[in-house]
Amino acid sequence: MRRFPTPIENIVLDAVFHLMNEERFDRTHKEYMQIADRLPALKVLHGQINDMLGQIAADGAAPYEICRFKAGDERYRYEPFPTTVSLETVRSALTVAGMRKQRGRRSRRT
């Protein structure tokens, strides 16, 4: 089942496309796959994204705060714009966007 990216995954995807000097929207599937083929290694991309987020934080130019309001909540809660993201967040953002294939889990041998 396909899901939508979380707010943090959206930030990661925006950063990925910015780093690749590409537009994120209004592309064909083939164009997205061509961009995905040109992506650097996951750990390199992770470092570039964290450098970019760190620079945004150092400049004091965070574009917005993140609101994770959902049904049943009684208050709005805001989180600051992230200064770093985990490697797993980068991996899941690319997977949700269809730019990385989800790997199967290894089965344990007994």
- Grouping H, G, I as helix, E, B as strand and the rest as coil, residue 79 is strand
Residue 96 has pLDDT above 50, yes or no: yes
The reported pTM is: 0.87
Q: What does the pLDDT look like over 99-109, one tens digit per residue?
A: 987 666 666 66
The values of phi and psi at residue 20, to 5°, are -90, 0
Q: What tokens does 6 get?
A: 């979380």
Tokens 């620079």 correspond to 55
Nearest alpha carbon to residue 90 among 10, 2, 3:
10
For the record, the structure tokens of 62 come out as 């965070």
Residue 82 DSSP SS3: coil
Burial label for 26, CB within 10 Å (0-12, 13-18, 19+), is exposed
Beta strands (DSSP E) in 1-110 are 66-67, 78-79
CA distance 6 to 3: 9
pLDDT tens-digit profile of 23-73?
Answer: 999 999 999 999 999 999 999 999 999 999 999 999 999 999 999 888 899
Q: Would the pLDDT of 1 be above 50? A: no
